């Protein structure tokens, strides 16, 4: 009986070693031959330009891929490549009260992203991602803007990361 168990365990281990995709605890599914990623700087082409937004988005995206995948970040021509730009930064009133005054305002950021996987072209995409955060109309946007941007950027990076390498 112990010999049968050993053979079964060996076959199971062999089967798992023959899998085509590599997996991580983050759920990322990356072709095993992919070793590098390049993430271009995301220029801000929105009508309202916040000076730190491009840097914040680009660095957060780079940090996510280097900390949650085995990929090495390279300047150009990575096995996986992400490029794009910030296309919209808007604030508008939402949740109008009976006094016809907004109870909340909404900060919305949209980014256009192009993802290229040189080993699996079916994974390539071009897509616009949009996220927002609401804040009280009484709040001064300049006072809370950095916090709102950080929350929105984290959500955008989650969306981009999931679309690019989490195939659930």
Task: Read off the pLDDT band of 137 (50, 70, 90).
Answer: confident
pLDDT, tens digit (0-9, with 9 covering 90-100), for 106-130:
999 999 999 999 998 999 999 999 9
SS3 of 22-81: the string is: EECCCCCEECCCCCEEEECCCCECCCCCCCCHHHHHHHHHHHHHHHHCCCEECCCCCCEE
Task: Kindly report the pTM of this predicted structure.
Answer: 0.80
Domain 34-165 has what CATH class?
Answer: alpha beta
Q: Where are the domains of the chain?
A: 34-165
b or e along 107-119 (b: 16 or more beta carbons within 10 Å of the residue's beta carbon)? Answer: bbbbbbbebbbbe
Per-residue pLDDT tens digits for 58-82: 999 999 999 999 999 999 999 999 9
> In which band, very low, low, confident or very high, does the pLDDT at 14 lie, cut at 50, 70 and 90?
very low
């Amino acid at each position: 009986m112990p010999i049968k168990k050993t053979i079964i365990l060996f076959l199971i281990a062999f089967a798992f070693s023959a899998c085509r995709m590599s997996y991580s605890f983050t759920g990322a599914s990356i072709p095993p031959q992919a070793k590098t990623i390049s993430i271009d700087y995301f220029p801000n082409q929105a009508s309202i330009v916040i000076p730190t937004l491009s840097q914040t988005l680009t660095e957060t995206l780079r940090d996510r891929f280097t900390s949650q995948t085995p990929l090495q970040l390279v300047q150009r021509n990575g096995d996986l490549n992400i490029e794009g730009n910030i296309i919209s930064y808007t604030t508008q009133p939402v949740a109008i009260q009976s006094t016809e005054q907004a109870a909340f305002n909404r900060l919305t950021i949209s980014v256009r992203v192009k993802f290229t996987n040189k080993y699996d072209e079916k994974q390539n995409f071009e897509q616009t991602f949009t996220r927002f955060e609401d804040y009280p109309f009484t709040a001064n946007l300049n006072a809370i803007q950095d916090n709102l941007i950080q929350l929105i950027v984290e959500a955008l990076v989650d969306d981009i990361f999931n679309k690019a390498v989490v195939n659930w």
